[in-house]
Amino acid sequence: MSIQQVPFITLNRFEPGFRDEFLAGVASLFDKTQFVGGPIVAEMEANLAKYTKSKHAIGCANGTDAIQIALRAVGVEKNDKVLVPDMTFWATFEAVVNVGANPVTVDVNRTACHWDLATFKQAVEQFKPKAAVMVHLYGWATPDTLEIRKYAKDNGVILIEDGAQCFGTEIDGQSILGTAAISTTSFYPAKVLGASGDAGAIFTANDEWAKNCRTLINHGRTDHYSHGMIGWNSRIGAYESLFLNMSLRHIDARIKSRMNAVKFYEESLQGLPLKPVRAGGKVTENGYCAVAMIEPSLRPALIENLKKANVGYGTIYPGAMSKQSGSAGHLAGKIDNGNAHYISQAVLNLPCFAYITPEELQYVVDTVKKSF
């Protein structure tokens, strides 16, 4: 049967037997009335820690909470300045505001689509922040990750790493999440490692920060009816933990499938106005997004052709943080070189998900080629 449409993403492609095994597990948890917490959560956290080689992995309700909890756990307080990239998802900016701190947006590098060391240094010197949230967008990381980590440490800036899109991403052969001082991720179902509902996690080797995170996700409890901190109700669910546990067994195969798609686009679209972009330096990406750039004036016509051919697409993300209407009144400063805004107008993401078929990939490529 010929392909007539390709979704941008689909959430219904799993390994043989996955669905039945999950539903059997749900029935077991239901019979035991294990809905929140319990052994399945501890098992899932242990498996996350093992995969990322992190000392502590702490599950929570979602990726946004994970950032907020990490910020609070490391001591970010009201009116502290926190650097965030001008190119990220709104949750990064929002989390800083939600803990009472003041975000400073810092532009990204137009080529790497992430922070570079020079601009990060400029921001630290100019704004003297208490902390910074470095975002590993697209399932990549900046080639300057290790240098930014060192500079932040040497200059007393606490570096939190938002890895909502980078589960399985590596730098210099090691897990981004596991080697960060403290990092967070999201298990929203569309992620590379997604749950059966919303969920997130924090990773750290720091015992005090890990203890703070566990306290904060459970109402600041020090024991059942004693509360040492003002926290959240951000406990991860048992069904989500079951789903994550099962998915972790297949994560390498899913990442390989996604990366096959990314490489196919890179090889097949050479010489066209739509130019695939890959991670640079020592970064090994996870295939979360198939990223390409096009001259902004050409993007609308290509999008129309994709729509006519029933090919899904994304523009991740269509606007800089500093230009969002919700940022008004919250920005404590910004470094704006125009790069985040340009990328937001030039980026185009083609379909990329685990177990996308060769026929679907070819249909997408044929559609793009016909557009030019």
Q: pLDDT per residue over 111-152, tens digit each?
A: 999 999 999 999 999 999 999 999 999 999 999 999 999 999
Torsion of CA 327, 332, 336, 341, to 10 degrees: -10
Q: Is the pLDDT of residue 314 over 80?
A: yes
Which band of pLDDT confidence, cut at 50, 70 and 90, is reported for residue 224?
Answer: confident
How far is 36 from 233, CA to CA, in rounded Å? 11
Per-chain mean pLDDT for the chain: 97
> How large is the average pLDDT for residues 9-16?
96
**Residue that wins the pLDDT comparison between 21 and 280:** 21
> What pTM does this model have?
0.97
The residues with which 135 forms a beta bridge, in sequence order, are 162
Q: What is the DSSP string of 163-211?
A: -TT-TT-EETTEEHHHHSSEEEEE--TTSSS--SS--EEEEES-HHHHH
Task: Give kind and range of the element (H or E) at residue 94.
Answer: helix 90-98
Give pLDDT, residue 11: 95
What digits encode the pLDDT tens for the residues 84-105? Answer: 999 999 999 999 999 999 999 9
What digits encode the pLDDT tens for the residues 192-214? Answer: 999 999 999 999 999 999 999 99
Q: Is the pLDDT of residue 62 over 80?
A: yes
The residues with which 6 forms a beta bridge, in sequence order, are 311
Q: Is the pLDDT of residue 1 over 70?
A: no
How many Å from the N-terminal Cα to the C-terminal Cα in the chain?
26
How far is 295 from 36, CA to CA, in rounded Å? 48
Which band of pLDDT confidence, cut at 50, 70 and 90, is reported for residue 317?
Answer: very high
What digits encode the pLDDT tens for the residues 23-36? Answer: 999 999 999 999 99
Which band of pLDDT confidence, cut at 50, 70 and 90, is reported for residue 2?
Answer: confident
Q: Is the pLDDT of residue 42 over 80?
A: yes
- Write out the two tokens for 293: 């750039």
Q: Which residues contact 92 (CB under 8 A, 6 or more apart)?
A: 67, 84, 85, 133, 135, 162, 321
Q: Is the pLDDT of residue 222 over 70?
A: yes
Q: Is the pLDDT of residue 173 over 80?
A: yes
Q: Is 135 helix (H, G, I), strand (E, B) or coil?
A: strand
Torsion of CA 13, 17, 23, 28, to 10 degrees: -140
Give pLDDT, residue 37: 87
What digits encode the pLDDT tens for the residues 101-121? Answer: 999 999 999 999 999 999 999
Give pLDDT, residue 148: 98
